[in-house]
Amino acid sequence: MTQVESPTLVTYEGYSGGDEKENNSIKMIAKIKKMMLFSQKRFDDNSKGIVNVIDNNANYPIYTGEVKLVGILEHTDETKSIAILQSNGRQKSYFIHDEISDGTTIVKILTDKIILNKKGSYFLLRIL
């Protein structure tokens, strides 16, 4: 006779569980929800070993440096997206995690903007 595996528990808000196994499943689901794995993008800041959460729709202050965003080549694999920046009349291509100037790195490339990290603060740079 074939052994049948029991179905996975699906819980609803406010359900307290029936036995210890169900209670452990509920606790595990709550931990996963707190990790926000399915709502926002995450990246590792390799220099500090910190995992940061970047909200695509956050109201970050506008970057006021001399660099201008003149183009974006968006790829389905976000690590392969390219931001084309202009500084002092010269254009150069950058990927996520590239340093564009002293202490300023690209952390996210979106359709019409990029998010920068300048010494721990996040800034938004929109395409011209």
Residues facing residue 105 across a β-bridge: 99, 117
Average pLDDT value for the chain: 77
Given its phi and psi angles, is residue 16 left (phi above 0), alpha (psi -120 to 50 degrees) or beta? alpha
pTM, 2 dp: 0.58
Question: In the chain, what are the domain boundaries?
Answer: 67-126
Encode pLDDT of 58-115 as tens digits.
Answer: 688 999 989 999 999 998 888 899 999 999 999 999 999 999 988 899 999 998 999 9
Class of domain 67-126: mainly beta
Per-residue pLDDT tens for 45-57?
554 444 455 666 6
